[in-house]
Structure 1
């Protein structure tokens, strides 16, 4: 069920949500959190779709906040709130509220969203693109226990990571880090199978890939060895090599879906290591709401680095 409201208020949106739930025969809520998406018109469709897919695992109220800007002096622009509500089959396993803020209201996003949060439930804020420099101090980020950014969408992904290291607050995370979960699990399992001292490492990826940079920082932080960054044609991360006293451990993924795991003294074997969708990444992040100290440690490690070419 879809409902559109023009020139409305947060209280009217809340009443419309209740009316919509009653109309489909579900006046009670089974929502576990509120996911606030701060986005623009260009990225709104894909972000809401990904969040809707993720809500099948985590039933939630999705609030997409779109700030509409227009030309001319701010005092002459019309201040207005428009809303689109989706409940039932149109909203996955939760509810979707798309808010479009016009005029002076764009500076009051936190006040607009606050009355619409699911009562007594955690809040997660997500910026699919154009994230603030300090997410925890952003009006929407201040409402959230978990704040998700995506350095991959920035013009200078590695520079953005360096900036966020200086303003990190518990609850901050980035999808560039989430993309590494299969890599980190596989490398940890490989070192468990071959517990050999590691003397050096290398991460090969396309240029300026933030996930590759975080992976290199994580390896340096955990293993205490230098890790080279080597630029390839991609896609994304293509290979990780760890030099050990007994030979080289290698994970080679040339095509973005299937990898080859090479261990000293063992036959090579194929492992699934696909590039996951945005919905899968968001669903993973919604599984935990506590501070990710491992991410914080990797983010804050900023060694001198020199990119090589392969």
Structure 2
């Protein structure tokens, strides 16, 4: 089992080049086809209007500017992937707004790689909460890279946030290609004693046995915390030296109103290492 199709979001932000390198390194390791996706930032309805006979020259010029801008960001994608030696590469310009466009194309990939929103980035895509929407609407695994990260792909020390929910079960199944390559996989369970009906008498034994049958040995860590679990998870990952967190995403996006669970919301805002997440 391996990732055979990986998508990476390409834009004109300060972190785009590093994000592309990260995705390229993963594609090389997995021998995967790598798709660079850049969006115009405007909905397809806008471009349908431009195609109408009554479109003004100014609108046509604006539409072409958006297409060219998106295409130019993919020139950087092609240059970097060629330098690093990615064997199978594809570039796509999507005439769509960023969140729904990426979510739609991510549905047909084994993994989507995007960046955490950087509040200090002044690029045209800054301050858009698209990472949350991509995770909630794509239906597949999304790897989110924090904006203050060195972007060197490793995946050697992985921390799984286990709460016995369908979301984390799905995340673990999707992340098996990464877990196989890890040197250390640790499973943390917070406040297991408060939910004996979920975790049983030996919390973590069941998921440890499941992963062992896949040839993955894990260490079970139990923590009792009174603070917010999201903060406790991030703190633990830092103390353990984890370079990747695997977790479920809890929430929904309806008419762009994003409602997230507390832990999920905290991790989106404060992540310090890449997070592999599914909804």
TM-score of the superposed pair, with normalisation by structure 1:
0.34
Between Structure 1 and Structure 2, whose CA radius of gyration is higher? 1
Greater relative contact order (Cα < 8 A, sep 6+): 2
- Of Structure 1 and Structure 2, the greater strand share is in 1
- Of Structure 1 and Structure 2, the greater helix share is in 2
